[in-house]
């Protein structure tokens, strides 16, 4: 087993997940300042638990982040325990084909309506 830093979870990679699997948010999401990212843009980050109970830190792309904010709300406490379905896609990034992880928030199941009839 390869060594890793103990101060944080390893980052989520397309090698860790496949399309269709669900991850669970186990840490409050936060925004990393542009100066602290390798892209020079602010990014959303959250810790998720995989199906095998391992945790990973996920730096989300803006599409996934915005979907999660719309589904789970802007209060970080509301994200914990929620599920996200993974969608791994091939995309051209700076002219190079790369696998990109997108996430689709799992909507809470609607409660059945009580019928009077």
In a domain, 117, yes or no: no
∠ Cα 80 81 83 (to 5°): 110
Domain encompassing residue 30:
22-105
Q: Which of 43, 38, 71 has its CA nearest to residue 57?
A: 43
Contact 68, 84 (CB under 8 A): yes
In a domain, 87, yes or no: yes
Q: What is the pLDDT of residues 27-39, one digit of tens each?
A: 999 999 999 888 7
Phi, psi of 70 (to 5 degrees): -65, -40
Handedness of CA 30, 35, 38, 39 (dihedral sign): positive
**Mean pLDDT value across the chain:** 87
3-state secondary structure of 50: coil
Phi, psi of 78 (to 5 degrees): -75, -10
In a domain, 6, yes or no: no
Helices (runs of H) and strands (runs of E) counted in the chain: 1, 6
Q: Give the pLDDT of residue 37.
A: 85
In a domain, 101, yes or no: yes
In a domain, 114, yes or no: no
In a domain, 112, yes or no: no
pTM of the model: 0.82
Which CA distances in Å does 93 have to 58, 69, 97, 98?
A: 18, 24, 6, 6
Q: What is the number of domains present in the chain?
A: 1
Q: What is the pLDDT of residues 5-60, one digit of tens each?
A: 566 669 999 999 999 999 999 999 999 999 988 878 999 999 999 999 999 999 99
In a domain, 3, yes or no: no
């Amino acid at each position: 087993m390869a060594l890793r830093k103990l101060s944080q979870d390893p980052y989520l990679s397309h090698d860790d997940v496949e399309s269709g699997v669900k991850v669970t948010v186990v840490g409050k999401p936060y925004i990393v300042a542009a100066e602290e990212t390798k892209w020079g843009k602010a990014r959303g980050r959250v810790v998720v638990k995989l199906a095998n109970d391992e945790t990973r830190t996920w730096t989300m792309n803006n599409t996934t982040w915005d979907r999660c904010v719309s589904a789970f709300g802007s209060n970080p406490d509301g994200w914990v325990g929620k599920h996200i379905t993974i969608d791994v896609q091939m995309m051209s990034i700076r002219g190079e084909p790369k696998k990109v992880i997108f996430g689709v928030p799992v909507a809470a199941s609607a409660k059945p309506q009580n019928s009077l009839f």
